[in-house]
Amino acid sequence: MVAAPALRGPFASSVRWLCLLPCLLTVACVTTREVATRAPTLEEKCEGGSAWACETWGQQLQVDHRTEEADRAFGLACAMGSTSACLTQGKDRLARGDLEGAEAPLRKSYEEDSEEATLALADLHDARGDAVGAAHFRYEALAIDKSTTEFALGWRVPFDGGVGLALDVNVQPMGLKARRLTLGANVGLDAKRVSLNATVGYQHFVTNWFAPYGRALVGPYLDNSPSRRAPINLGAELGMKFFAGPLGHLGTGFGTSLDGSTYYFLEAGLDWVLTLAVLAHL
């Protein structure tokens, strides 16, 4: 009877601790998990070499009006290869009147065929009083984002009956008057003739999506028609193209050749990389 009260104190204390132990372990586990799974900040990811994180961080800093820090973040992303960050940094500097600082990132984006960067460089040259330089960049901006090499498939409707096809490879680099001059190869076929042609043409960009054009075609006929007057095809086409940026174009117009055939055509052109990707999935 005397020993029971003496044992009750230590026993009761042990029971209380045992009851509290699961709660203490749960709190410890939760705390440890929170520390272990804390996501790195955008700044930490940026310092770790993520161009996306640098650019996103720069956008957040812009919202907070932390201009200098945003400029640094965009500069880091630009140095890592993000042309959109180069463009943003260049345009921000241009808006602040820092013409010298704006030029380098804008040119980096321009070299990746960015229409927006090209127009920004035109504004930069305007701000310097260089009207000739500004006009040159605006001339280039209309065509700079178009594909350098396209494959095109065309449908021909000859006026003398039937339906034909045409396959084209068009090369239009910036070095040829900012994609105004085009070189290529063409295979034309219909029910009465088959020809393999070299082509040269000129396209005039009225806007960044619309260009009337003309081209000459010359090459041998591949079929053996006894009624043909000459073994060489010499022809011309006039038409218009509707561009979808770097993806390709839709074209339509009329053509004629020395043998007297005249036709209407409708064609779809696609950037060569996209063409190969489509063919790879067929």
Structure tokens at 121: 């460089």
**Domain of 174: which CATH number?**
2.40.160.20
Report the C-alpha gap between 240 and 246 in whole angstroms: 17
Domain edge (last residue) among 141, 170, 190: 141
Report the C-alpha gap between 150 and 147 in whole angstroms: 6
Report the C-alpha gap between 171 and 30 in whole angstroms: 63
Domain count, the chain: 2
Residue 174 lies in a domain: yes
User: Lowest-pLDDT range, 37-41, 142-146, 164-168?
Assistant: 37-41
pLDDT bracket for residue 137 (50, 70, 90): very high
Same-domain pairing of 131 and 195 = no
Same-domain pairing of 62 and 177 = no
Structure tokens at 247: 């993806």
Q: What is the pLDDT of residues 161-170, one digit of tens each?
A: 889 999 999 9
Same-domain pairing of 155 and 212 = yes
Residue 165 lies in a domain: yes
Whether 228 has a pLDDT exceeding 90, the answer reads no
Residue 87 lies in a domain: yes
Structure tokens at 225: 């028609």
Same-domain pairing of 246 and 127 = no
Report the C-alpha gap between 155 and 163 in whole angstroms: 7
Same-domain pairing of 136 and 200 = no
Report the C-alpha gap between 227 and 235 in whole angstroms: 18
pLDDT of residue 75: 96
Give the number of other Cβ atoms within 10 Å of residue 15's Cβ. Answer: 10
Distance of CA 130 to CAs 127, 133, 135, 138, 240, Å?
Answer: 7, 5, 9, 13, 33
pLDDT of residue 16: 57
Same-domain pairing of 82 and 109 = yes
Report the C-alpha gap between 82 and 136 in whole angstroms: 25
Whether 7 has a pLDDT exceeding 50, the answer reads no
Q: Is 58 left (phi over 0), alpha (psi -120 to 50) or beta?
A: alpha
pLDDT of residue 148: 95
Same-domain pairing of 129 and 207 = no
Report the C-alpha gap between 209 and 215 in whole angstroms: 19
Is the pTM value of this prediction over 0.95? no
Residue type, 39: A
Give the number of other Cβ atoms within 10 Å of residue 183's Cβ. Answer: 15
First CA to last CA across the chain, in angstroms? 93
Instruction: Work out the mean pLDDT of the chain and round it to a whole number.
Output: 88
DSSP state of 205: -
DSSP state of 38: P
Structure tokens at 163: 């339906």
Say how many residues make up the chain.
282
227 CB-contact burial (10 Å; exposed 0-12 / middle 13-18 / buried 19+): exposed
Domain edge (last residue) among 107, 141, 175: 141
Domain edge (last residue) among 106, 141, 176: 141
Q: What dihedral angle (degrees, nearest 10) is formed by the CA atoms of 26, 32, 36, 38?
A: 80
Q: Which domain holds residue 73?
A: 44-141
pLDDT of residue 39: 86
Same-domain pairing of 134 and 225 = no
Place of tokens 């095109």: 152
Residue 168 lies in a domain: yes
Residue 2 lies in a domain: no
| CA gyration radius, the chain | 34
pLDDT of residue 197: 95
Residue 223 lies in a domain: yes
pLDDT bracket for residue 13 (50, 70, 90): low
Structure tokens at 224: 């053996």
Residues 6+ apart with CB under 8 A from 196: 185, 186, 187, 219, 220, 222
Q: What is the pLDDT of residues 237-252, one digit of tens each?
A: 999 999 999 999 999 9
204 in Cβ contact with 212 (< 8 Å): yes
